[in-house]
């Protein structure tokens, strides 16, 4: 696997701004996602992929035809084009750090932004490797342009090495995953794979077939503005009510205090004036019953507070986003076992663990396409401290190639 080629391909993708927009109902939510999709369309044609198709919804699909004379299941690989709106993805300026020495990495001298293993301990796993970082002013976009890099590189390698035998492979690059819509218009029938894998995990070795059940809650609180000098008995300050609402939720059940299978309430946006305050939460839990309990608690708090206030000042809008894919994967666990075997074959210790988030794969699994998640190699997604070891991308590419080989061998007559 050519290291310089992987680096060049990855950097060519991350320097294209593809940030999605959670507030735009259009699909895709930003027109700039088309910029990368069209570049990838040409690239897939140039490397020799078949049935390359970019549809009206910005889903790019392609086929690597089988090169064997017997039938095996068609497998797929999926990654997303967009980057998170949580932190800017415009004007990304990647920095390459060769032979990382285990010390602090100065991302931006002018702004004194430092990526330090004293805070981000995972850096120490990659001493001696080549690490790509941001310049401290943007995210990097390894989520999920690393996945795209790995899929394209694996397909190119298989095309250039026909001696490696494999069945039919389908790939798809999707828009709007970061705003929860990545699978909404995915045509599972057209994709026509027996199962697939998203290349959208974090550190090397991650293999995930469980994820959060997820919902979004928008709490709108209505107040009443009156001149503060004459406000007694008349003003209703929606921000004060909002503060009370926040404090009635469990204080330790937040992202910064939970891990593993713990669920949480995450207040990710707050906008307020006296007359109106809007709180936006995401609600997460692996356990379906606890997930429903969390949603009910949000509603019960609003009902109780409205009773205390004597009016319907608090309105709750709840919307489910995706569900735990475990229910759909457990009946076909052999598709996870294959990846574990391949990882061991290429010298990787599998890290089978639940996703504290979601991927296109969670929705696709419920749409009839079982779709576990495999590491793409990045760390600290969605922020200025994002980084990725190049060696992890190379290993992920080897895993894709290994899965193709393993499936062909397992189903050989």
Extract the tokens encoding 374: 């495999």
How many angstroms separate the CA atoms of 223 and 237, rounded?
Answer: 5
**Residue in 150, 177, 206, 285 annotated catalytic:** 177
DSSP assignment of 321-359, as one string? Answer: EE--THHHHGGGTHHHHHHHHHHHHTT---EE--BSS--
Rounded distance, CA 338 to CA 202, Å?
19
C-alpha dist (Å) from residue 95 to 7, 129, 328: 11, 14, 40
Burial pattern 182-218, b for ≥16 Cβ within 10 A else e, equals bbebbeeeebebbbbbbbbbbbbbbbbbbbbbbbbbe
Q: What is the DSSP code (8-state) at residue 83?
A: B
Q: What is the number of other CB atoms lying within 10 angstroms of the CB of residue 266?
A: 16
82 is an active site residue: yes
Instruction: For 294-308, give the secondary structure using H, E and C.
Output: HHHHHHHHHHHHHHH
Query: Per the omega criterion (within 30 degrees of 0), is the bond before 28 cis?
Result: yes
Helices and strands in the chain: count of H runs, count of E runs = 10, 17
Q: Which of 17, 41, 82, 206 is catalytic?
A: 82
Beta-carbon contacts of residue 147 (< 8 Å; ≥ 6 apart): 79, 80, 198, 199, 200, 376, 396
Task: Give Cα 150 to chain centroid, integer Å.
Answer: 15
Name the strand (E) or helix (H) holding 365: helix 360-366
Residue closest to 60 by CA, chosen among 195, 202, 182, 181: 182
22-51: burial string, b at 16+ Cβ within 10 Å, e else: beeeeebbbebbbebbeebbebbeebebee
Tokens at residue 47, please? 């490397």
Q: Where are the alpha helices (DSSP H) in 161-287?
A: 188-191, 238-248
289 is catalytic: no
Q: What CA–CA distance (Å, rounded) separates 197 from 387?
A: 23
Q: Which positions are annotated as active-site residues?
A: 82, 177
């Amino acid at each position: 696997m050519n290291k310089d080629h992987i680096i060049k391909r990855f950097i060519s993708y991350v320097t294209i701004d593809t940030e999605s927009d959670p507030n735009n109902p259009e699909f895709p939510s930003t027109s700039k996602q088309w910029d990368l999709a069209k570049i990838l369309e040409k690239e897939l044609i140039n490397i020799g992929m078949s049935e390359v198709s970019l549809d009206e919804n910005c889903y790019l699909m392609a086929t690597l035809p089988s090169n064997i004379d017997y039938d095996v299941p068609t497998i797929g690989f999926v990654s997303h084009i967009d980057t998170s709106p949580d932190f800017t993805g415009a004007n990304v300026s990647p920095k390459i750090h060769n032979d990382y020495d285990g010390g602090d990495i100065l991302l931006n001298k002018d702004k004194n932004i430092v990526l330090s293993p004293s805070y981000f301990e995972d850096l120490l796993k990659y001493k001696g490797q080549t690490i790509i970082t941001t310049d401290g002013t943007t995210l990097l976009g390894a989520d999920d342009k690393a996945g795209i890099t790995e899929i394209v590189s694996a397909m190119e390698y298989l095309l250039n090495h026909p001696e490696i035998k494999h069945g039919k492979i389908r790939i798809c690059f999707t828009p709007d995953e970061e705003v929860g819509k990545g699978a909404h218009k995915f045509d599972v029938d057209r994709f026509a794979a027996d199962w697939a894998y998203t290349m959208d995990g974090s550190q090397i070795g991650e293999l995930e077939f469980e994820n959060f059940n997820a919902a979004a809650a928008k709490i709108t609180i209505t107040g009443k503005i009156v001149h503060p000098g004459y406000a007694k008995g008349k003003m209703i300050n929606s921000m004060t009510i909002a503060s009370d609402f926040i404090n009635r939720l469990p204080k330790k059940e937040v992202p910064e205090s939970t891990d593993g299978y713990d669920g949480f309430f995450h207040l990710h946006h707050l906008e307020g004036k006296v007359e109106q305050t809007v709180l936006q939460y995401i609600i997460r839990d692996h356990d379906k019953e606890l997930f429903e309990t969390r949603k009910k608690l949000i509603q019960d708090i609003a009902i109780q507070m409205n009773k205390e206030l004597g009016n319907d000042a608090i309105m709750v809008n709840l919307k489910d986003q995706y569900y735990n894919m475990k229910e759909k994967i457990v009946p076909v666990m052999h598709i996870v076992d294959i990846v574990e075997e391949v990882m061991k074959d290429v010298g990787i210790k599998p890290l089978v663990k639940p996703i504290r988030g979601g991927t296109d794969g969670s929705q696709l699994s419920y749409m009839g396409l079982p779709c576990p998640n495999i590491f793409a190699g990045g760390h600290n997604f969605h922020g200025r401290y994002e980084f990725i070891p190049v060696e992890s991308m190379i290993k992920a590419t080897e895993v894709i190639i290994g899965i193709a080989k393993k499936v062909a061998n397992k189903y050989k007559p």
